[in-house]
Amino acid sequence: MKGSAGSARAVGASARSTLVVAFAIAAIVFVLDQLSKLWAENTLEHNVAQPLVGDILKLRLIYNSGAAFGFGGSITPIITGVQIGIALAVVVVLVRSVRSRAWMVSLALLLGGALGNIVDRLFRAPGPLTGHVVDFLELPHWPIFNVADIAVTTGAVLLVVLTLFNVPLDPREKSEVRA
């Protein structure tokens, strides 16, 4: 009995530390995203390309009412609602299920990026739920994006890889299945 109580405390501490790290990563992504958007708005001229790395990466400030490639500009409140729902679902999964470091990083990146764009949708013009997202990084033949988009994309790719390789949310699941 004594050993199982100690084991339960260790699992609880591990879960808490995983959550702390996850929320720290999400917070760092969020802050970097918001600071970079502030910088872009104070430094760049609207819709004027400035080469950063030759023709490979340019800076171009735009305000995006839609999703990637500008799709959905007429349904911005729905996009905002979906983003909020995804962010809440990620928090629930992080709190209830995730003990794997890889899953934690994936979901933390998704959460931080989603929050960065949600804040734009809630607090930028033209108004709550319809705010436009600040985008400023441009690659050839690709929609203009921001730091939040990089985090969401990276988190989503990692999520797909973890799923394809059947990495469990909780590493203990693997040992329980084999036993």
Query: Which residues make Cβ contacts (< 8 Å) with residue 30, sequence separation at least 6?
Result: 112, 115, 116, 119, 148
Residues 47-64 as b/e (b if ≥16 CB within 10 A, e otherwise) read: eeeeeeeeeeebbbbbbb
Q: Is the pLDDT of residue 1 over 60?
A: no
- pLDDT the model gives residue 15: 82
Q: Is the pLDDT of residue 28 over 50?
A: yes
- pLDDT the model gives residue 91: 97
CA distances from 122 to 22, 23, 116, 119, 167 (A): 23, 21, 10, 5, 35
Q: Which of 33, 55, 120, 135 is catalytic?
A: 135
Q: Calculate mean pLDDT across residues 157-166.
A: 98
Output the six-digit token pair for 69: 């490639």
- 28-37, 138-147, 169-178: least confident range: 169-178
130 phi and psi, to 5 degrees? -120, 10
Mean pLDDT of the chain: 91
Q: Which of 33, 55, 120, 149 is catalytic?
A: 149
Nearest partner of 122 among 84, 175, 170, judged by Cα: 84
Annotated catalytic residue 55: no
Kindly report the length of the chain: 179
**Per-residue model confidence as pLDDT tens digits over 31-58:** 999 999 999 999 999 999 999 999 999 9
- Give, as one character, the DSSP assignment of residue 167: -
Q: Calculate mean pLDDT across residues 161-175.
A: 88
Q: Check whether the bond before 126 is cis (ω within 30° of 0).
A: yes
Q: Confirm if 111 and 75 have CB atoms less than 8 A apart.
A: no
**Per-residue model confidence as pLDDT tens digits over 12-27:** 667 889 999 999 999 9
